[in-house]
Amino acid sequence: MTDIIPVLLAGGSGTRLWPLSRKSYPKQFSNLIGGRSLFQQSALRLTSSEKITFAPHMTMTNSEFRFIVGEQLHSVGLEPGPILIEPESKNTAPAILAASQYAFARDPEAVLLVAPSDHVIPDIEAFHEALQRGLDAVCEGKIVTFGIAPTRPETGYGYLELARASKSEAVDLLRFVEKPDAPRAQEMLDAGCFLWNAGIFMFRAQDMIEAFTLHAPDLLEPVGAALGAVQADLDFLRLDPPSWSRCADVSIDYAIMERAKNLVAVPFAAGWSDLGGWDAVLQEMDRDKNGVATSSNAHAIDCENTLLRSESEALELVGIGLKDILAVAMPDAVLIAHKDQAQNVKHVITKLKSENVTQAETFPKDHRPWGWFETLAISGRFQVKRIFVKPGIALSLQSHHHRSEHWIVVEGTAKVTIEEDVKLVTEGQSVYVPLGAKHRMENTGKLPMILIEVQIGAYLGEDDIIRYEDVYKRN
């Protein structure tokens, strides 16, 4: 059998972990648990071991996250495999079909393992053992799903009903069960033949394509056309937007899994979480004897079963006499909720969006292929930003219609181009960019460069940019 191709689904929004997770920078790219992002942990989990062998990763994501995906893989020593860019979100069925068709075209015997990129599975060895148990069924033409042995009557997950109870071996899957109410969840826990649906699947590409042929044939043509007209964009592959737009917005569960007859499930009981809310994050964090978890700059006094987490170095979070409370502080937003309301955090986004609140979807740090920036202060006619530029990186040659800029270098050295003038600006020095002038900044050194940018003008939006040269091929 060929090496397993791990397919990471990295386009979700993680609305239940607001304010840390937002549309512009969702939870999979954040460091929620441990020293790496969830995406990095997922990628490292799907690398070869003594028990199983993986090919390079394939990642399905969108245009906004493409550089984050590449950077985060590189930073943990993984060479990115194919990164397929979805022009718009169409749910998991089109994405998985695209990955299957792409792999099949290169190897008719290709085996894929599709997994979300925002789950926590601490015991990698046990997970690889579970994958190994599923391989025999894959070789027989089965589609394998990996279910989690339930530890409580959970109402927030869908379930898998097995033909018989099993602690580890692959078993025929009878059906998918929607999220139950509390009494039904308890019944399924007591029955012993139900698993939580983790959304992890392993299959041969040819078998998944055949499943779509039988159960969702309308997706075959638009997905095939999107792949047939794929455009190379630096290290990425952009699926054709007009073709992709014709795909139905449908989940893999509904399109295939609830209809296919060749499904088996492999139970996994060694620890798993989808971090589907701040209550789940609390369960995964180190807690004291009172069940309290705090970040490095958060402090609890006489608290119980409480999460206190500050994501800002400049903000100290203190809780006194709290019980069953979730408190998460960002530089621009603070969430305070009872643990019982953790699943309702997603409704915050709807309310804030209806009131045109920027924090609903926009992250304080705006990540770009060259680094990031964050707004420190903003008023009607001025804005102050901190800008971080990675070593050896240049921003686009650009100009602005409505604003001038002052740059003050606070770390490193900037190579600055303003019209025909090119010079080096070192720590403590500044430079002025007049309105309408073509300009560029570069970090030609080996260390990061940080500068403070003061924008002055009638309009300060990020769309006031005319790019003349851009290595990242942005319009």
Query: Position of tokens 């600055």?
Result: 416
Local mean pLDDT, 10-residue blocks, the chain (475 residues): 90 86 90 91 94 94 89 91 94 96 96 95 94 93 94 90 90 91 93 94 97 96 96 89 96 93 93 92 95 95 97 93 97 95 92 93 88 90 95 94 96 95 95 95 94 95 89 71
Q: What pLDDT score does 15 carry?
A: 86
**2: which DSSP letter?**
P
pLDDT of 23 reads: 87
Helices and strands, counts by H and E, the chain: 11, 29
Q: Of the candidates 177, 16, 208, 197, which has an alpha carbon nearest to the alpha carbon of residue 95? A: 208
pLDDT of residue 293: 97
209-to-219, 246, 261 alpha-carbon distances in Å: 10, 18, 14
Q: How many Cβ atoms are within 10 Å of 177's Cβ, its own excluded?
A: 18
Residue type (1 letter), 396: S
- What is residue 447's predicted lDDT score, i.e. its pLDDT? 93
Q: Are 180 and 155 in contact (CB under 8 A)?
A: yes
Separation between Cα atoms, residue 365 and residue 338, nearest integer Å:
27
Q: What backbone phi and psi angles, to 5 degrees, belong to 152?
A: -160, 165
